[in-house]
Amino acid sequence: MPRADSKAFKISLVASMIALTAIFELINRALPLRVPWGMSIDFVALPIMITFFLIGTRYSIVVALGMYGMLLVIGFAGFVGGTMKFVATVPMVLVFGGLALTPLKNKDDPSLTFKSIPKFLFASALAIIARCGAACVMNYYWAIPLFFSVPVEQLIDSMFFGSIWGFITFISSMNLTQGVIDLGVAWAIVFGVGSIRRLASSRL
């Protein structure tokens, strides 16, 4: 049986990826690059996308839930930061997972669907749009008002050039950057030179 198809491999991979999210968060706390309410540029969600490209949607969602639990315990921004990281990352997984069920998929080996660069770029564009939309909505209605305990309109006047478009542009630019990092680095690790798919495909 190929290693990637074994239950033991999948369980050990998921556990390793959840642990890796914790390691990346500790690195992020030591060398932070974040905005005041907890949004950060980091590699914490990278293991989620690596898991998706290796063994699919269901297992990557499990890693996302594990990441969320880790962030609630050790995350810099606690509940708000952990929730926002989860909400921003899961839409990307769902977009990729949904597209993998369409005629876009590789018919010979669905797990290689997004090895194709055109398919990967198309899916990435849709996934990042979904991420930005979810992040804008959650920041506007929940995260920013909760974090600062003031109406979001007041913060937009003082922090986002007094414009809702300034708010959308800023939040989207942060999530665009993070989305490109998460997807691009994960794709390079899984499908690029020195691909870890070689390990996943080796036989027990």
Residues 53-112 pLDDT 10s: 999 999 999 999 999 999 999 987 789 889 999 999 999 999 999 999 999 998 888 889
Cα 29 from Cα 21, distance rounded (Å): 12
Number of domains the chain contains: 1
Residue 103, pLDDT score: 93
Residue 53, pLDDT score: 95
- Residues (pLDDT < 70) of the chain are 1-5, 35-39, 194-204
Residue 129, pLDDT score: 98
Cα 96 from Cα 68, distance rounded (Å): 20
Distance of CA 73 to the CA centre of its chain: 19
pTM listed for this prediction? 0.90
Closest CA to 24 of 87, 66, 84: 66
Cα 12 from Cα 16, distance rounded (Å): 6
Give me the CATH number covering residue 154: 1.10.1760.20
Cα 92 from Cα 49, distance rounded (Å): 9
Cα torsion through 127, 132, 137, 138, rounded to 10: 90
Residue 204, pLDDT score: 41
Distance of CA 40 to the CA centre of its chain: 12
Give me the domain span that covers residue 196.
3-201
